[in-house]
Amino acid sequence: MSLNTISTQPFDGQRPGTSGLRKKVKVFQQPHYLANFVQATFDSIGDFSGQTLVVGGDGRYFNREAIQIIIKMAAANGFAKVLVGQGGILSTPAASCVIRKYKAFGGLILSASHNPAGPDEDFGIKYNIGSGGPAPEAVTEAIFERTSDISHYLIAQCPDIDLDKQGSFELAGMQVEVIDPVTDYADLMQSLFDFDAIRELLAGEFSMVFDAMHAVTGPYGKTIIEGILQAPVGTVINAEPKEDFGGGHPDPNLTYAHELVDILYGDNAPAFGAASDGDGDRNMVLGDHFFVTPSDSLAVMAANATLVPGYKDGISGVARSMPTSAAADRVAAALGIDCFETPTGWKFFGNLMDAGRVTLCGEESFGTGSDHVREKDGLWAVLFWLNILAVRKESVASILNDHWQRFGRNYYSRHDYEGVDSAAAEQVLQNVRDQFTTLPGTELAGRLIKTCDDFAYTDPVDGSISKNQGVRILFEDGSRIIFRLSGTGTSGATIRVYLESYEADSDKHGLDAQDALADMITAADAISKLRQLSGRDKPTVIT
């Protein structure tokens, strides 16, 4: 067995986005493309000799090939051990759990999240640090810098590891341990939630459906929901992870999780429905004919956290990404705890959790999580809700109505325009920026504009500054219109428009969000010329 040094040349565009490097599979399949990025990562993360690396992915097309390359490069670069999920599978939160539990140096997670999978679709890779969280910007920037002057990489020349067999193997002097991808994660969940109470709930009248969308949470849902919690077989649907996610788009929202939505809005709907995404970190929660926005979900969890054993002593603080609605802020104020507003991207929560400043975090993009790991966690959120439902013994709708009664309702919606020409998308944001000085003090959608800005964030823990994180129009009454370009797409640009309006009067809490926000939607278009510039007369996705 030999360790080879392979000559290579830099590829353009290997800058990690909101959540790692995401490109078409065909881009990753170019000779040296993946290896360059992996070597640049290894060159940028410090001294890991003698340490452990965790590797796993969401099972999408090219997962297995990528893992074989990474394991051989880890051996050649001096890691002592690689922990890899059986079949190459580790959900993103499970990878975070394994990194933390076994005190690994870090991990490489292979996923393009909810983006479709298959030979012509997407692939992705990201590096997570020893805390289990996504590498902070300083590290991702260092990796990017390295990709632009890389000249060689190191790789062991040896046969592939059998990823389907659990056990410990030797590869070029390095130990490779193939682990069950679910066990450690399931143990962690049992330490946080009242499984007896949830089991009792599921044994009664209550019924639920969990849609794994042919992606990574299938085995996790089967083991935890149908196995340990003894829900009826068939509760977890689309449970077999497929390399192409069954040709679907495993993004748990009202558009792409339509199979689940149809069940929850159909006749004899179950009391609870949930879905997770490609890599298991996102979640959508539904009641019988009822959709819980991710922003409200975070707020309800924060308000009910002490009902859950793992959080019974209270939460230290809450954090939400800037475009997420301010519903959680109101709960934090009532609890007398801090609420932090960070840029989009789970990596921004890491420092706050490590410093003990926040326990719960959430994003409008169907992400919620806590300091039990350093990723958002889809199945954890589902279990959190089940624990609340088991204790309160009320419907999802009744819990939300009660919540709005107490805190008021933040009407909220996100409109996405996908696959827009990049220059046109930039112009949409620029059109709003051009009015930053003239808009404040004027009225829009019947509301007085207080201020406009490009959101910037100073990390309260390490002082790092992140600029240009979204164009904001902030109104005197707390309403907001925000424009942002997605950092996770792989073709063209995606414009996201976030709309929020607060309603204190409980007589007005029963509206459909699109109706409640109709004047803001019209105003957002008028001010940015969004539809004209994008050539679209309506959003691709509304959540």
Point out which span in 98-106, 176-184, 312-320, 362-370 binds ligand G16 (CB under 6 A). 362-370
What backbone torsions phi and psi does residue 391 show, to the nearest 5 degrees?
-80, -45
Say whether residue 214 binds ligand G16 (CB under 6 A): no
- Closest by CA to 171, choosing from 182, 181, 186, 156, is 156
Establish whether 131 is a catalytic residue. no
Interacting residue with ligand G16 among 52, 113, 297, 351 (CB under 6 A): 113
Task: Give the β-pairing of 471-475 and 52-57.
Answer: unpaired
Give, as one character, the DSSP assignment of residue 232: P
Say whether residue 377 binds ligand G16 (CB under 6 A): no
For ligand G16, give the closer residue by CB, 184 or 251.
251
Structure tokens at 494: 């995606």
Interacting residue with ligand G16 among 344, 368, 501, 528 (CB under 6 A): 344
Structure tokens at 128: 């997570």
Q: Are 134 and 24 in contact (CB under 8 A)?
A: no
Rounded distance between C-alpha atoms, residue 217 and residue 75, angstroms: 29
Sign (positive/negative) of CA torsion 252, 258, 264, 268?
Answer: negative
Closest distance to ligand G16 from the beta carbon of 114 (Å): 6
For ligand G16, give the closer residue by CB, 75 or 94.
94
- Closest by CA to 138, choosing from 154, 127, 125, 149, is 127
Closest distance to ligand G16 from the beta carbon of 282 (Å): 5
Closest distance to ligand G16 from the beta carbon of 339 (Å): 17
Say whether residue 374 binds ligand G16 (CB under 6 A): no
Closest distance to ligand G16 from the beta carbon of 470 (Å): 9
For ligand G16, give the closer residue by CB, 18 or 77.
18
Point out which span in 306-314, 419-427, 460-468, 480-488 binds ligand G16 (CB under 6 A). 480-488
Interacting residue with ligand G16 among 121, 184, 281, 377 (CB under 6 A): 281
Structure tokens at 214: 């042919």
Structure tokens at 417: 């325009």
Beta strands, E only, 148-207: 152-157, 167-171, 174-179
Say whether residue 367 binds ligand G16 (CB under 6 A): yes
Closest distance to ligand G16 from the beta carbon of 3 (Å): 33
For ligand G16, give the closer residue by CB, 184 or 363.
363
Point out which span in 137-145, 363-371, 377-385, 386-394 binds ligand G16 (CB under 6 A). 363-371
Point out which span in 95-103, 229-237, 325-333, 482-490 binds ligand G16 (CB under 6 A). 482-490
Q: x-or-dash pattern for ligand G16, window 483-502, by CB under 6 A?
A: ---xxx-------x------
Q: What is the 3-state secondary structure (H, E, C) of 33-69?
A: HHHHHHHHHHCCCCCCCCCEEEEEECCCCCHHHHHHH
For ligand G16, give the closer residue by CB, 387 or 469.
469
Q: Are 364 and 412 in contact (CB under 8 A)?
A: yes
Residues numbered 320-339 forming contacts with ligand G16, rule: CB under 6 A: 321
For ligand G16, give the closer residue by CB, 64 or 282.
282
Say whether residue 363 binds ligand G16 (CB under 6 A): yes
Say whether residue 36 binds ligand G16 (CB under 6 A): no
Please tell me which residue in 44, 96, 111, 113 is annotated as part of the active site. Answer: 113
For ligand G16, give the closer residue by CB, 253 or 365.
365
Say whether residue 346 binds ligand G16 (CB under 6 A): yes
Q: What is the 3-state secondary structure (H, E, C) of 81-121?
A: EEEEEEEEECCHHHHHHHHHHCCCCEEEEECCCCCCCCCCC
- Closest by CA to 398, choosing from 503, 300, 468, 275, is 300
Closest distance to ligand G16 from the beta carbon of 457 (Å): 13
Say whether residue 235 binds ligand G16 (CB under 6 A): no
- Closest by CA to 24, choosing from 491, 433, 426, is 491
Q: DSSP readout, 243-306?
A: TTGGGS----STTTTHHHHHHHTSTT--SEEEEE-TTS-BEEEEETTEEE-HHHHHHHHHHHGG
- Closest by CA to 84, choosing from 158, 165, 187, is 165
- Closest by CA to 348, choosing from 432, 458, 271, is 458
Structure tokens at 517: 């926000």
Size of the site for ligand G16 (CB under 6 A): 18
Rounded distance between C-alpha atoms, residue 71 and residue 73, angstroms: 5
Rounded distance between C-alpha atoms, residue 129 and residue 152, angstroms: 24
Percent helix, percent strand, percent coil in the chain, to nearest 5 = 35, 25, 40
SS3 at position 47: coil
Residues numbered 114-133 forming contacts with ligand G16, rule: CB under 6 A: 114
Say whether residue 365 binds ligand G16 (CB under 6 A): yes
Closest distance to ligand G16 from the beta carbon of 221 (Å): 17
Point out which span in 59-67, 344-352, 468-476, 530-538 binds ligand G16 (CB under 6 A). 344-352
Point out which span in 233-241, 332-340, 438-446, 481-489 binds ligand G16 (CB under 6 A). 481-489
Residues with a known catalytic role: 113
Residues of this chain that interact with ligand G16 (CB under 6 A) are: 18-19, 113-114, 277, 281-282, 321, 344-346, 363, 365, 367, 486-488, 496
